[in-house]
Amino acid sequence: MVEQRNVPKQAGRGEDRLVVIDGDSGVSCAAVIDGVTDKSGRDYGGMTGGARAAACVATSLRRLPPDTPPQAAADAMTTDLALLRRSWGIADDDPLAPAAVAAVFLPAQGVIWRVGDVHVAIGRGARWETRPADKLIDRVLAGTRAAYLHCLLAEGHDLDELIAEDVGRALVLPVLKRQSLLANCEHAGPFGYGVLDGRPVPARFVEVIHLDQEVDQVVLASDGYLSPAGDLATAERELAESLRADPMRIGVHAATKGLAPAATSFDDRAYIRLQTSQRPGPG
């Protein structure tokens, strides 16, 4: 493990988790777990639903043997999250149930697997293969929010007022609260996506990335970062420059939420870079 960071967007622990499990010959498992932003307003024992779900997934991962196949691991997490739902009296069809996404690196298996929108980058010497966090429903809603806020700015609305009261997010919030109906759904068309929320995750939403012998670095990062940059300093610099230029998140990096008052970023963020050989990495 070369470097790692986990930063909440504002005071408190946040909804992202890092898991690093040491084995006999080094790291046996590393993961970035991103709790889905809670839109229910419920209190789960002093935690949000996203934080509670991320903690549950982290606990599941720590007890699983490192040779557990990806689908079996996702199934085990699903079982634990279903128990979490029941312990808090959350209905099976509740669209605002605690949920998380995750990317998991298992060196012994030579794989990275992920469910949902977590950034992944794979280094081979000076060459990087990036697999950014992305899903269509987020792009559509981010674009809708951005277009609406640009319309209001063109009408002469004050930028600071729009930052203080994000009416663009209010516009898309009804869909954000219902979009989990498209999650883990085989019949959701291009809007379907995977998430760990206590419902079975179809195999097509458990992405497995097989690593060849040339891979010497791996980066996992939550979507609070703009990309899976090859080192932490670059990831932080990209984010800081973008936030300065576009705190509302309605420009190049449009999002479903902007930089809230008193927040340090638009989302929690977690990053980890691991090296699989003795070659020193950047940073």
Judge whether 55 and 75 are in contact, CB under 8 Å.
no
Chain-centre distance for alpha carbon 52: 14
CA–CA distance, 10 with 235 (Å, rounded to integer):
18
Nearest one of 52, 87, 66, 59 to 22, comparing CA atoms: 66
Query: Looking at this protein, which amino acid is placed at residue 39?
Result: K
Look at residue 277 in the predicted model and tell me its pLDDT.
Answer: 60
CA–CA distance, 275 with 279 (Å, rounded to integer):
8
Separation of first and last alpha carbons in the chain: 13
Looking at the DSSP bridge assignments, the partners of residue 3 are 273
Look at residue 283 in the predicted model and tell me its pLDDT.
Answer: 43
The two most distant CA atoms of the chain are separated, in Å, by 62
pLDDT tens across the length of the chain (283 residues): 999 999 999 877 889 999 999 987 788 999 999 999 888 889 999 999 999 999 999 999 999 998 999 999 999 999 999 999 999 999 988 989 999 999 999 999 999 999 999 999 999 999 999 999 989 999 999 999 999 999 999 999 998 899 889 999 999 999 999 999 999 998 889 999 999 999 999 999 999 999 999 999 999 999 999 999 999 999 999 999 999 999 999 999 999 999 888 889 999 999 999 998 644 444 4
Look at residue 280 in the predicted model and tell me its pLDDT.
Answer: 45
Residues belonging to the chain = 283
What separation in angstroms does the CA of 4 have from each of 32, 52, 96, 251, 263?
A: 10, 21, 30, 28, 21
CA–CA distance, 114 with 82 (Å, rounded to integer):
19
φ, ψ at 249 (rounded to 5°): 60, 55
